[in-house]
Amino acid sequence: MNYILCSSIFSVMPVQNLPFIENMEKRIQSASFLLDASLGHCFVDGLEHQDENALYNCLRAYAAIDNTSSAEEIFRTTIVGPLVQKIIPHGPSGVVTGSSGDGLQNDYEQIKQCIEKDCKFLVEISSKENSGLHVFDFLANSILKEVLLAIQKGKPGAFSPGRPTEFLINYKSSLDFLAYLEGYCPSRSAVSKFRAEAVYIEFMKQWNISVYFSLRFQEIAGALDSALAATSLVPVQNSHFGDRNSQDLTLKQSITLRESLRSCWKEDVLIFSCSDKFLRLSLQLLSRYSSWLSYGLSARRTGNTGAASGSEWAISALPDDFIYIIHDINCLAKEVCGGYLEHVLQLLSSCSADICDLVKQSILRGGKALTDLAPLAVKAIIDALVEKAVEDLRQVKGITATYRMTNKPLPVRHSPYVSGVLRPLKTFLDGERAMTYLTKDTRNKLLHGAATEITGHYYELAAELVSVVSVQSELFYSDLTT
C-alpha cells in the first residue's frame, strides 16, 4: 500500500525523472505486479472452493488498493466464462462452434440456474450491508459482460431486427434476464448503479428498437394500404346472410383495419417503450381508413371520375354496397371506443392519469371521425335511390301531351309512374341486406330522406307542369276572345 502511495506522490513531483526515482518506480511496479498476482491466486482459490472468509479478505484487499476491476475480471474469466461458454458456445475468433438458432430464452434460463448455483455466493458477499464491498459490481462487469460477449460472438443474429418476431422474443427475454439480475441488488440505489454501468448501457444499445418499429410499421400499415388500394369494395367471401352475425364486419377493407389496429397492441408485437409510436400508428390507421371513405364519398357526390387514386370504389359502388359501409363504420366505431380503448388503457395502466386521459381522448376522436362519415354514406344511398325514382317521374311531363287536343275522358286511375316512383326505395329497404345490416334508425333516416327528396322533385315537376298548362290555357282563351 505504501509503495502505491509513494508512486502516486512521485508521479506528480518534478523529481520523477531522477535516476533514483526511476529505480524506485521499477521496484514499486514489480511489487505491485507481485501483489496483484498473489492476490489473484488467493482470489481464484477462494472462488474455486467458495471459501467465504478468503473471498471476503480478498475483496477487501482489492477495494483497499482500488483495483475492483481485476476482481471482476477474474470472476468473469474463471467462473462465469466457462459456464456461459457451455450454454452459448463460440470460438475465440467469434465463430460459432455449436449453436441451435439465435433464440436466447432457453439460454437465459440455463444461465440463471448457473448464477444460482455458482455465482450467487460471491454476489451476496459483495452486497452485504456495511461490508464496504459495495464498490464491486459483479452483476454487470462479470456476469452481464460475459453474457453480452457470448451473444455477440456465438449468436449475433439474436440482435438482428430483420426478423421482428424472433427479435422481440429475444428482446423480452433479455429484459426479463436483466430484471432477474436486478433482483440481486439490495437497494434501489444499487439498481440505479447497475443500470448506469457501461456494460449495461452497451447491452441495451444492441437492441435496435427503432428499426424493429419501422419494420412493424411497414408490415401493419402496408397491409391496410394494400386492402384500400382495391378499386372496388371487397365483401367477405362466402358471407351468406343466414350464416353471419349482424355484428360481423362485412368488407375486407374494414377487417384489415381491425386486424391492423389490434396488431399494434398484440403481445407478440408491442414493445412498451415504443407505446407512443404504436399509439400514433393506431391513430394513423384510423385516419387512413377515414380518409379513404371520405375521399370516395366526396368523389361520388361530385361525380368526379378523375378523382385521386383510391376513390374508384365509390364511383362504381351500388346502393346496396353502401349498406356494408354504414354497417362497418358503426361496428368499427363501437369497438374502437369500447373494447379496443379499454385494452389499450389496460396496457398503459402504469402510466400517469394525465397520459391515460390523453390516450383516451385521442382514440375517441378517431372513433368519432368514423361515425361522422355514416351520414355521408346514407346520403350516397339516398342520392342513388332518388336518381332512380326521378327516371319514373319524368313521365309527368307526358301528361300534357296525352290530354292535349283530345277527346279522351278524364283519368279515373293514377298515371303509371305513381306506382313506380317509390318502388326502388321500397325494394331497397325490404331487401335482405338492408334488413340484416341496417339498424331501424338508419332505415328510418333513409326512408325519410329519400321520400322527402323524391316528393320534392315531384312537386317541382308538377308545379312546372301546372304552370305551363296555365300559361297555355290563358293563351288559348285569349285567342278565342280575339
Segment among 194-203, 223-232, 385-394 with least mean pLDDT? 385-394
Residue 135 CA: distances (Å) to CA of 69, 73, 194, 198, 353: 10, 14, 11, 15, 39
The whole model's pTM is what?
0.83
Is the domain of 222 the same as that of 337?
Answer: yes
Phi, psi of 101 (to 5 degrees): 75, -175
| Same domain assignment for residues 136 and 162 | yes
162 and 232 within one domain: no
Mean pLDDT over each residue of the chain, to the nearest integer: 86
Q: How far is 20 from 26, CA to CA, in rounded Å? A: 10
For the record, the C-alpha cell of 100 comes out as 441451435
Three-class secondary structure of residue 398 per DSSP: helix
Does 238 share its domain with 103?
Answer: no
Asked if the structure places residue 424 within a domain, the reply is: yes
pLDDT of residue 390: 78
Query: How many H-runs (helices) and E-runs (strands) does the chain carry?
Result: 25, 0
| Residues 321 and 411 grouped into a single domain | no
What are the residue ranges of helices labelled H in 115-160? 120-126, 138, 145-154
Q: Are both 162 and 257 inside the same structural domain?
A: no
pLDDT exceeds 80 at position 306: no
- Provide the grid cell at 300: 361520388
Residue 367 lies in a domain: yes
| Percentage, residues of the chain above pLDDT 90 | 62
Residues 470 and 455 in one domain: yes
143 and 273: one domain? no
Q: Which residues pair with 235 in a beta bridge?
A: 251
pLDDT, tens digit, 9 for 90 and up, residues 406-458: 666 666 666 666 667 788 899 999 999 999 999 999 999 999 999 999 888 77
On whether both 133 and 159 belong to a single domain, the answer is yes
Q: Could you tell me if residue 361 is inside a domain?
A: yes
Residue 462 has what pLDDT? 72
Residue 341: all three cell numbers together = 380503448
What confidence score (pLDDT) does residue 65 get? 86
- When pLDDT is averaged across residues 213-238 and rounded to a whole number, the result is 93
Handedness of CA 374, 380, 381, 383 (dihedral sign): positive
Look at residues 61, 19, 23 and name the one whose alpha carbon lies nearest to residue 40. 61
Residue 27 in grid coordinates = 521496484
Q: Which residues contact 185 (CB under 8 A, 6 or more apart)?
A: 127, 139, 191, 193, 194
State which of 2-11, 34-43, 53-62, 419-428 shows the largest mean pLDDT. Answer: 53-62
Same domain, 246 and 313: yes
Highest mean pLDDT: which of 12-21, 23-32, 435-444, 454-463?
435-444
Structural domain boundaries enclosing 469: 391-481
Neighbours of 275 (CB within 10 A): 18
Long-range contacts of 55-63 (CB under 8 A, 24+ apart): 55/122, 55/125, 56/125, 56/131, 56/133, 59/125, 59/126, 59/133, 59/136, 60/132, 60/133, 62/136, 63/132, 63/133, 63/135, 63/136
Q: Give the pLDDT band of residue 74 (cuts 50, 70, 90).
A: very high
User: Total domain count for the chain?
Assistant: 3
Give the number of other CB atoms < 10 A from CB of residue 305.
11
Question: Would you say residue 99 has pLDDT above 60?
Answer: no
Q: Phi and psi (nearest 5°) for 235? A: -65, 155
The angle formed by the CA atoms of residues 341, 376 and 422, to the nearest 5 degrees, is 130
List, in sequence order, every residue forming a beta bridge with 251; answer none if it has no partner.
Answer: 235
- Is the pLDDT assigned to residue 362 strictly greater than 90? yes
Q: Which three cell numbers stand for residue 175?
A: 429484459
Tell me, yes or no, whether 113 and 196 share the same domain: yes
Of 206, 239, 256, the residue at which a domain comes to its end is 206
The contacts of residue 398 (CB under 8 Å, 6+ apart) are none
Q: Residue 380 class from Cβ within 10 Å (0-12 exposed, 13-18 middle, 19+ buried)?
A: buried
255 in a structural domain = yes
Q: Which of 44-53, 224-233, 305-314, 410-419 is the least confident region?
A: 410-419
Assigned domain for 20 exists: no
Are 88 and 158 in contact, with CB atoms under 8 Å apart? Answer: no
Query: How far apart are the two ends of the chain, measured CA to CA in Å?
Result: 141
Check whether residue 306 and residue 411 sit in a common domain. Answer: no
Residue that finishes a domain, picked among 189, 206, 223: 206
Look at residue 364 in the predicted model and tell me its pLDDT.
98
What pLDDT is recorded for position 66? Answer: 87
Q: How confident is the model at residue 15, as a pLDDT?
A: 52
